[in-house]
Amino acid sequence: MALPRWIARRPKKIAALAVLLFGPLTAHVGVALTTGMKAPAISTLAGEAVKSPADPDLRVLDQSYARHRGKILEVRLAGSPEKIGHDHGRLLYPEMVENEATLYAQFNHYVPIPPARWLLMDISRLQFRGVDQRMPSDRRREIAAQAQAFSPDPYEGILPTYQRLVFLQSLYDIALSFEHSPLLGCTSFALTGDAAQDGHVILARNFDFEAGPIFDEKKAVFLIREEGKIPYASVAWPGLVGTVTGMNAEGLALVVHGGRAREPRPEGEPVVHTMRELLGRAHSTKEALAILAATPPMVSHMVMLADSSGDVAIAERAPGEPLFVRRAPAGATKVPLTNHFEGPFATDPANVRIETVTSTRPRRIRLDELLSNLPRGASVEEIVSVLRDKKAIGGGDAPLGDRKTLDALIATHSVVMDTTARAIWVSEGPHLAGRYLRFDLARLLSPAFTPKSDDPIATLPEDDIMKDGRYEAWVRKGSSHKGEQ
């Protein structure tokens, strides 16, 4: 059969057009076929969550449970890595489905053109195709069990379950590798000596993560009792195996801050898993730093550590570089942190840009002002007032939502960790405007603890902006955020 005349006369143009049309599709299929991940072989676990007859809000699965403390989801997961993964997937299946839907909706909103979304997905799959092999074996087994338990999987058409959950566990690193990361707005500080009430050691933080209100409104406090590991608490969201904010039963507390220096590398361990290893193995800041020094990161970031002895350190990490540790000047009892490096990575062009175009420097200046004026023996209420500060440098007025303020109404969670009392206070939402709820880790992490419907709830009151109508008015006007280039 003869070719149409217009095709026969233009063979090169037709070939070029075919490459343009089918080349990307062929490449997309090729990426899918060559970047798969094989889950480790594990035994199939059984068991379903059961609602407690005495408390309809309480879901129980063997030693694990899920319930609400106020608006915050309180979740205990216990046992082997496989058991923890299975219980996570079954106890929190509805929440995990909802969280993923939010992520994909956000992705579609910011990248509305399907081929562009495919391209970004393919780049991520290629760049991080071996990320699971750099995870500890116990985390891989846990994720494999979680993937088995996450059934039915409504998103299997996007990626196979295990591979998709691996990428979701690496989301912090993948997000930080993009230029306009939503993780460069966090504010933290530590108090030691006589800075806090009764000489307690405090690590307080705002975790600014703009991935959708669900991660704020439906946050979770995980109580992890893994076999052979130190029990710990992690403030995160359903589905996340790792940690960005947490404290263990030994009184070691940590927070992660995004930063920018050097180039991201696919080699290394996802930061949320490294933080979990610290909480599960380290009894002190010194031990945690030793683990960090031996664990290469995938992306640059900072880790602030504080233990019950008052040892505070900031670990500055960048791919391919040795760990740099900085501490407060001798005698200092108040240690601030935002999102720029101050050690050998300070002159990196990427860090210089962060200081120039983001809110890290104004927030740091304002934080220094507030800490210098914080009275000795500061109470939890006074500490929270620092985290909730919405003033400009010098104490001048700033519009609600200004990113140059400490509380720009973008935080997914805000936490005050008392390493002396082994207790944490967690913001209920929205952002920092709602109440803070107390979690007594000395009690909750005990193997003897049994949840009851009449367990007391200690709270700090909501922010004044919830009482005087300012927050409601801000929401009605569109919840706008300004203050960065």
For each of the domains in the chain, give its residue range(s) and CATH number, in order of start.
52-476 (3.60.60.10)
> Given this model, what pLDDT does residue 2 score?
47
Q: Is residue 362 packed enough to be buried (19+ CB in 10 Å), middle (13-18) or exposed (0-12)?
A: buried
Q: What is the pLDDT of residue 454?
A: 87
Predicted confidence pLDDT, tens digits, the chain (485 residues): 444 554 455 555 545 544 444 445 445 455 555 667 999 999 999 999 999 998 999 999 999 999 999 999 999 999 999 999 999 999 999 999 999 999 888 888 878 888 888 787 777 777 777 888 888 899 999 999 999 999 999 999 989 999 999 988 888 787 766 655 555 789 999 999 999 999 999 999 999 988 889 999 999 999 999 999 999 999 999 999 899 999 999 999 999 999 999 998 878 899 999 999 999 999 999 999 999 999 999 999 999 999 999 999 999 999 999 999 999 999 999 999 999 999 999 999 999 999 999 999 999 999 999 999 999 999 999 999 999 999 999 999 999 999 999 999 999 999 999 999 999 999 999 999 999 999 999 999 999 999 998 898 999 999 999 999 999 999 999 999 987 76
- Cβ count within 10 A of residue 296: 17
Calpha distance 190→324 (Å, rounded): 19
Maximum Cα interatomic distance, the chain, rounded to a whole number of Å? 92
Of 231, 338, 306, nearest to 276 (Cα)? 231
Which pairs count as long-range contacts for 451-458, CB under 8 Å and 24+ apart, including other chains? 451/55, 451/58, 451/65, 451/67, 451/74, 451/76, 452/55, 453/54, 453/55, 453/57, 453/58, 455/69, 457/69, 457/70
Residue 22 has a pLDDT of: 42
CB 143 within 8 A of CB 166: yes
pLDDT attached to residue 108: 87
pLDDT of residue 34: 65
pTM over 0.85: yes
CA distance 160 to 400: 42
Instruction: Annotate 61-78 with b (16+ C-beta within 10 A) or e (fewer).
Output: beebbbbebebbbbbbbb
What pLDDT does 13 receive?
52
pLDDT of residue 314: 98
Angle at CA of residue 333, ends 424 and 462, nearest 5°: 35
Q: Which pLDDT score, from 0 to 100, does residue 17 have?
A: 44
CA distance 334 to 257: 18
